[in-house]
Amino acid sequence: MSVDSAIKPNLDRIQKPDPTCIVIFGASGDLTHRKLVPALHSLCCAELLPDDFIIIGVARSDLSNESFRERMREGVDKFARLTGERCGDWDTFAPRLYYHRLDYHEPEDYQALADYLDSKEAEYGLPHNLLFYLSTPPILYKTIIQQLGAVGLSRPKGEFTRIVVEKPFGTDLASAHDLNLCVHSAFDEDQIYRIDHYLGKETVQNIMVFRFANLIFEPVWNRRYIDHVQISVLETVDVGRRGGYFDHAGVLRDMFQNHLMQLVALTAMEPPTAWDATLLRDEKVKVLRALRPPENGALRTNTVRAQYRSLDGKGATYRKENGVGPQSETPTYAALELYIDNWRWQGVPFYLRSGKSLKKKMTEVVIQFKEVPHMLFNMGIEANVIPNQLSFCLQPDEGFQLAFQTKQPGAGMRTDSVDMSFNFATQFGEKALPEAYERLLLDALLGDASLFARADEIENSWRIIDAIQQGWDRGDGPPLGFYKPGSWGPAAADVMLNANGHRWCASCAD
């Protein structure tokens, strides 16, 4: 596949969305500038946007269309996958960007928005298809949803009206349930697209293709052959300017409830019978329902929580970050040992870890297979047999590798562990992988909710996180540990695995 065909994919095989008006609430915020408009622009470059579209940014600030466009242009230049010489489409794209001021708490402003949309749709001859995107602070979600319902904007006037809801979707099970009730009071479930940007990552989708488009792995994908599974989402960044938000959320809510739970579900689910949003999400929900949070004594042995802290002043200390209390107990790192109570996975540990300010940015899923039942080779002290290991490198070096044994050349029958690897960039070109938001925005425009979370999926994953968080809040968890910024995390996370004779891998960082 050439680089150009990766950028402008074969449109015979990819449906183009119907003409649509896209309305982004929170248009003056960071996400719109860094992710949403750059992604829409790249879709435009790739000729994947509808033939007719307009994008209306909505927020409280007083901005003209021109100043909004200028700000968005900076975002595109800085953050878009396809920019400048690869795509000269700014001049076709920019005139379709508009800004509309709205006070989120003012009911009359929503009627004014409805009138504005009518006039813009008439001007462009658009058929009343609407995609709303909530990218405001989450505290405003309920107000916006209720007001959209009140002025009738949630009911389709054309082929469709859909709403995309950014994460976080609630802060615990009760608030997520409450938000689901609110959104269902104005929109039907099939109009709602709850975003988890990890599902938009090509390599995350590839877990499903790898498992279900190949014959050879599925027969061994179970407790008989798999010893344990590791899922690591490690980040080098610290909380930076997000201290105020993070100190309330903590790593469990920020990373585990959404991204890590999705990775567990995709790795562990049964094959759906078709590529269909309902069937796929049914299978994920079954995994989440079967996932058992550690209880009682296991909260101490099977969970780890820690904060980054620099003792020599050479790195950042979480408690000194802006917006963070000097006595904060909020973990910036957690590791969990979880079990799935079903026939496929009974007794197989799923080790999960995620943290900020670590040594490497690395997201990987490692399937550690069991040892062969009887080893013929490497008898004696030189034994060097490492069981098979399959690593999905989700980012930054996207690809996968399979470690297996081979014969060392020469006399005797000594074996060595070697890798069979595949790398996306080498195979398909550096720019071939679309940004997660490109894929998700396109799917929302097309009406494919397969890569979005359903109400029951969100609530079931909050059930697990709540059980752990509440246990920690009661004081039943392990003591809060500390780790050096730039390290691999706290020693307690190693101890947790060592207790089962295991150790963390970082296959994708090697």
Question: Taking the complex as a whole, how short is the minimal distance between the CB of residue 433 and ligand BG6, in angstroms?
Answer: 12
From CA 287, how far away is CA 338, in angstroms rounded? 12
**207-246 binders of ligand BG6 (CB under 6 A):** 235
Contact between 166 and ligand BG6 (CB under 6 A)? no
Question: Taking the complex as a whole, how short is the minimal distance between the CB of residue 187 and ligand BG6, in angstroms?
Answer: 23
Nearer to ligand BG6 by Cβ, of 363 and 391: the residue is 363
Contact between 121 and ligand BG6 (CB under 6 A)? no
Contact between 18 and ligand BG6 (CB under 6 A)? no
- Cβ contact 458:174 at 8 Å: no
One-letter amino acid of 95: P
**Alpha-carbon torsion, ordered 306, 311, 314, 319, to 10 deg:** 50
Contact between 247 and ligand BG6 (CB under 6 A)? no
Question: Taking the complex as a whole, how short is the minimal distance between the CB of residue 361 and ligand BG6, in angstroms?
Answer: 7
Nearer to ligand BG6 by Cβ, of 98 and 333: the residue is 333
The beta-strand segments (E) located in 173-302 are 192-194, 226-234, 291-292
- Cβ contact 365:392 at 8 Å: yes
Contact between 466 and ligand BG6 (CB under 6 A)? no
Contact between 435 and ligand BG6 (CB under 6 A)? no
Q: What track of x and - describes contact with ligand BG6 for positions 352 through 391 (by CB under 6 A)? A: -----------x----------------------------
On the 0-12 / 13-18 / 19+ scale of CB atoms within 10 A, 369 is middle
Contact between 443 and ligand BG6 (CB under 6 A)? no
Question: Taking the complex as a whole, how short is the minimal distance between the CB of residue 89 and ligand BG6, in angstroms?
Answer: 25
Among 386, 379, 382, 375, which residue's Cα sits nearest to residue 417?
386
- Cβ contact 46:85 at 8 Å: no
Interstrand relation of 415-423 and 399-407 (parallel, antiparallel or unpaired): antiparallel
Of all residues in this chain, which one has the CB nearest to ligand BG6 in the complex? 254
- Cβ contact 4:44 at 8 Å: no
Nearer to ligand BG6 by Cβ, of 307 and 363: the residue is 363
Reported as type and span, the H/E element at residue 161 is: strand 161-165
Candidate list 254, 337, 443, 466; residue touching ligand BG6; CB under 6 A: 254
Question: Taking the complex as a whole, how short is the minimal distance between the CB of residue 473 and ligand BG6, in angstroms?
Answer: 21
Of 248, 259, 374, 502, the catalytic one is 259
Question: Taking the complex as a whole, how short is the minimal distance between the CB of residue 363 and ligand BG6, in angstroms?
Answer: 6
Nearer to ligand BG6 by Cβ, of 83 and 363: the residue is 363
Contact between 109 and ligand BG6 (CB under 6 A)? no
**Is there a catalytic annotation at residue 259?**
yes
Total Cβ atoms within 10 A of residue 237 = 11
Among 288, 303, 284, which residue's Cα sits nearest to residue 352?
303
Q: What track of x and - describes contact with ligand BG6 for positions 135 through 164 (by CB under 6 A)? A: ------------------------------
Nearer to ligand BG6 by Cβ, of 254 and 337: the residue is 254
Among 234, 217, 229, which residue's Cα sits nearest to residue 268?
229
Nearer to ligand BG6 by Cβ, of 361 and 503: the residue is 361
Question: Taking the complex as a whole, how short is the minimal distance between the CB of residue 254 and ligand BG6, in angstroms?
Answer: 5
The Cβ-side half-sphere exposure at 148, using a 13 Å CA radius, reads: 27
**Alpha-carbon torsion, ordered 216, 220, 222, 226, to 10 deg:** -120
Active site residues: 259
Which residues would be at the binding site for ligand BG6 (CB under 6 A)? 235, 254, 363
